[in-house]
């Protein structure tokens, strides 16, 4: 919560007033006494003008103390509601050192607060610059399409299906970068093999149901089986494989799709070079709570070179990218 110095001082004064509400009565009594004395003085000395001035001054004081104090107290309660942190801060300061001049201490704290504020003003500017830099990303860009359990594939999503080789297919528009990556790996002696690229709804449904049956046969309840299965195999219509932008890779020395692939030369090479060809490791370790999918060192997603390098450098998932830079 941001507090100006004036707010702090006002509150401090108000709190002090609130601590001594009994002051109001004696002040009013003293003022009344002054008027009485003035009146007697006028009568006794006959020096009208001089004593009248004193009387007016006393009346002013009386009015001031009678009307301003209750108002100030009301403000004090408001201040407590608006600035509860100030209450706590003052209590803390008092407890720390009851003898210190409170105003001086608040002044020092305020100086430190202003310094911090100045630094914060510099920081948001840098952040703004960064946002500008990412403004080149367009949320309608097909390469950035977000598909997960919360964002299933829309019914009208269309894309051109291209052939990698044989019956292996993917979005035709990623073929050039994908082939470049396969070629580069080959040239560097990396055994990079495509395990599973595009899958249609029927295949995804079959894979998911097969996993469901596995957990149901183990005695899981339907809901529990669904919960576990959906972290291992993507729910139909929530799979990036269905839009032809995801590829599962493996290698001869490690044909299984499991965590062990991460330690193979192929797995390491992919992590290091995929962004150069527009791919990202889509379900990284430690981000399962964001993606909703287990660590999959074999599953890579095409997002385009610019976004791939941005996401890799920032170490963020596609979900975080959408949340922070595209919404
Ligand atoms: Zn996959």
Q: What is the pLDDT tens value at each position of the chain, 327 positions in all? A: 445 555 555 555 555 444 455 666 777 788 788 777 767 766 767 666 776 776 676 666 655 554 444 433 343 444 444 445 545 655 665 666 665 565 566 556 656 666 665 666 555 444 444 554 545 899 999 999 999 989 999 989 999 999 999 999 999 999 999 999 999 999 999 999 999 999 999 999 999 999 999 999 999 999 999 988 988 898 899 999 999 999 999 999 999 999 999 999 999 999 999 999 999 999 999 999 999 999 999 999 999 999 999 999 999 999 999 999 987
Are 242 and 268 a contacting pair, CB within 8 Å?
A: no
- Active-site annotation holds for 296: yes
Kindly give the distance from the C-alpha atom of residue 123 to the centroid of ligand 1, in angstroms, as a whole number. 39
Overall residue count recorded for the chain in this entry? 327
End-to-end CA, the chain: 26
Q: Whole-angstrom Cα distance, residue 1 to residue 68?
A: 28
Kindly give the distance from the C-alpha atom of residue 323 to the centroid of ligand 1, in angstroms, as a whole number. 22
Contacts of 12 (CB under 8 A, 6+ apart): 90, 102, 103, 106
Q: Whole-angstrom Cα distance, residue 58 to residue 50?
A: 13
Kindly give the distance from the C-alpha atom of residue 168 to the centroid of ligand 1, in angstroms, as a whole number. 14
Would you give the DSSP letter of residue 323? Answer: I
Q: Catalytic one among 296, 309, 319, 320?
A: 296
**In degrees, to the nearest 5, what angle opens at C-alpha 176 toward C-alphas 236 and 279?**
55
Kindly give the distance from the C-alpha atom of residue 86 to the centroid of ligand 1, in angstroms, as a whole number. 53
Kindly give the distance from the C-alpha atom of residue 10 to the centroid of ligand 1, in angstroms, as a whole number. 61
Kindly give the distance from the C-alpha atom of residue 188 to the centroid of ligand 1, in angstroms, as a whole number. 24
């Amino acid at each position: 919560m941001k507090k100006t110095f004036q707010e702090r001082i006002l509150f401090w004064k108000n709190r002090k007033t609130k601590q001594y509400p009994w002051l109001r009565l004696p002040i009013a009594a003293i003022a009344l006494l002054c008027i009485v004395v003035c009146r007697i003085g006028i009568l006794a000395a006959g020096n009208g003008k001089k004593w009248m001035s004193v009387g007016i001054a006393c009346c002013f004081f009386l009015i001031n103390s009678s009307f301003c104090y209750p108002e100030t107290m009301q403000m004090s309660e408001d201040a407590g509601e608006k600035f509860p942190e100030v209450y706590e801060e003052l209590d803390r300061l008092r407890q720390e050192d009851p003898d210190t001049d409170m105003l001086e201490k608040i002044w020092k704290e305020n100086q430190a607060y202003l310094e911090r504020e100045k630094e914060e003003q510099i920081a948001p500017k840098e952040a703004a610059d960064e946002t500008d830099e990412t403004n080149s990303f367009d949320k309608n860009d097909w390469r950035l399409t977000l598909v997960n359990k919360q964002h299933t594939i829309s019914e009208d999503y269309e894309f051109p299906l291209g052939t990698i080789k044989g019956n292996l297919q993917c979005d035709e528009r990623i073929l050039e970068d994908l082939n470049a990556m396969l070629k580069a790996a080959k040239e560097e002696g990396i055994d990079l093999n495509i395990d599973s690229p595009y899958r249609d709804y029927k295949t995804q449904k079959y894979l998911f149901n097969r996993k469901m049956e596995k957990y149901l046969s183990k005695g899981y309840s339907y809901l529990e089986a669904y919960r576990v299965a959906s972290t291992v195999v993507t729910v139909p219509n929530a799979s990036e494989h269905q839009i032809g932008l995801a590829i599962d890779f493996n290698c001869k020395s490690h044909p299984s799709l499991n965590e062990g692939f991460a330690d193979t030369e192929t797995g390491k090479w992919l992590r290091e070079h995929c962004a150069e060809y527009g791919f990202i490791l889509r379900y990284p370790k430690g981000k399962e709570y964001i993606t909703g999918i287990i660590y999959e060192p074999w599953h890579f997603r095409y997002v385009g070179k610019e976004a791939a390098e941005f996401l890799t450098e920032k170490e963020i998932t596609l979900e975080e990218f959408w949340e922070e830079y595209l919404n």
